[in-house]
Amino acid sequence: MASLATPAGSYGIPRVLAQGKRVRLRTFTRGDLVNLNKWCDSPFVEKMVASEFLYQYKHIYHRRNDVFLDFLLRDTTQLPALIIPRHREPEQPVGFVRLYGINLIHGYGFLETVISDPHSMRKGWGVEASRLLLAYALDHIGIHRVEAKVFAYNQLSINSLRRNGFRQEGVLREACFTDGKFWDILVFGILKEEMEQERKKDEIVLFPPETKVRS
- Per residue in 56-73, pLDDT (tens digit) is 999 999 999 989 988 988
pTM for this entry: 0.89
Helix axes 65-74, 33-40, angle to 10 degrees: 100
What are 127-163's pLDDT values in tens digits? 999 999 999 999 999 999 999 999 999 999 999 999 9
- Residue 184 belongs to a domain: yes
Q: In which domain, by residue range, is 67 found?
A: 16-202
Low-confidence ranges of the chain (pLDDT < 50): 1-3, 5-9, 211-215
- Residue 177 belongs to a domain: yes
Cα 147 to Cα 199: distance, rounded to the nearest angstrom: 17
* Phi and psi at residue 76, to the nearest 5°: -85, 5
- 155 to each of 49, 115, 127, 160, 213, how far by Cα in Å? 12, 14, 13, 9, 33
- Residue 46 belongs to a domain: yes
CATH number for the domain spanning 113: value is: 3.40.630.30
Asked if 85 contacts 94 with a C-beta cutoff of 8 angstroms, the reply is: yes
- Residue 208 belongs to a domain: no
pLDDT reported for residue 40: 93
- Residue 4 belongs to a domain: no
- Residue 214 belongs to a domain: no
Q: Structural domain tally of the chain? A: 1
- Residue 164 belongs to a domain: yes
* Phi and psi at residue 46, to the nearest 5°: -60, -45
- Residue 68 belongs to a domain: yes
DSSP assignment letter at 15 = B
